[in-house]
Structure 1
Amino acid sequence: MKRLATLLLSCAALATASSCAKDDAMPTGPKEYQVEYRISSTTAPQSDYISYDNESGGTTTVNNVPLPATYRFKRTLKQGDHVGLLASLDGGTAASEITAAILLDGKEVKKETGRGANAQAVPVYVIGQ
């Protein structure tokens, strides 16, 4: 009987701890995030085109951007919302590459590297993914 009680208490404690961790990791309502995009290349001095989801949920597009480049802003997001960007190189070689990363609150959540003459990196992150 004592073993059964100990087992049940252990299971209850584990279930409570698991549900608390899940609640902390997945906010149910809107949350303000520090969004950061990082774009870099080891083979090119600039990106010919960068387009990203901005602080208002719209799109910002810039051309001929010196690399590395970083964009930071705060944005309120809820589960199912997304942040993303597209960064490209034009007229490179087969060895050309560009890398784009998305960070939320300082933590990298998505990173992609595109390679080739017309390399593109297109990371997209969905909140709750």
Structure 2
Amino acid sequence: MKRLAYLLLSCAALGPTTSCSKDEAAPTGPKEYQVEYQVTSNAPVSDYLSYTNESGGNTTRNNTPLPASYRFKRTMKRGDNLTILASIDGGTAASEITCAILLDGKEVKKETGRGVGAQAVPVYVIGQ
């Protein structure tokens, strides 16, 4: 539950930080994207995994074998976000977990967590 609260706070904190400059193209409205999350680790299992799903809600999984990948289509507009949180419980100092967010096959955000309680929480905001 603590991790879910962290995830929600991360998303809320990012919302107000997005802005439009004169150089940016005006939003053209909603667009359908092929979304993919990729999770890799030197550990065999992620004890906790949560991601923004195709409806904009959250999907949570426990004890997920790694590597893992999730794909779906979602229509989004400027300001919508994609977030994934994955963690390892009881790892070692050498433990690593990496999460990547891909849109239409292009990696847009990637984060790696290291250590005993390693976790990665990349967040991507459309139009960022």
Report the TM-score, using the length of structure 1 for normalisation. Answer: 0.79
Which digits, 9 at most, give the CA deviation of each residue in 1:67-113, with x for residues without a partner? 10000000011001100110000000111000000000000000000
- Please tell me the root mean square deviation across aligned C-alpha atoms, in Å: 1.7
Q: Secondary structure at the match of 1:28?
A: coil
Which digits, 9 at most, give the CA deviation of each residue in 1:35-90, with x for residues without a partner? 0000001x201111100000000000001111100000000110011001100000
1:126 matched to 2:125? The reply is yes
- Give the equivalent residue in structure 2 for 1:63: 62
- Give the equivalent residue in structure 2 for 1:100: 99
Task: Looking at secondary structure, tell me which structure has more helix per residue.
Answer: 1
Q: Secondary structure at the match of 2:116?
A: coil
Aligned partner letter, 2:28: T
- Give the equivalent residue in structure 2 for 1:72: 71
Write the distance in 1 (CA, Å) between the matches of 2:70 and 2:49.
11
- Give the equivalent residue in structure 2 for 1:54: 53
Paired residues in the alignment total 107
- Give the equivalent residue in structure 2 for 1:85: 84
Moved over 6 A (4+): none
Write the distance in 1 (CA, Å) between the matches of 2:45 and 2:113.
14
- Give the equivalent residue in structure 2 for 1:10: none
Among all aligned residue pairs of Structure 1 and Structure 2, give the percentage whose two residues are the same amino acid: 77
Mind listing any 5+ residue stretches in structure 2 that lack a counterpart?
1-23
Mind listing any 5+ residue stretches in structure 1 that lack a counterpart?
1-21
Aligned partner letter, 1:111: K
Whichever of the two has the greater Rg, that structure is: 1
Pairwise CA distance, 1:114 = 0.2
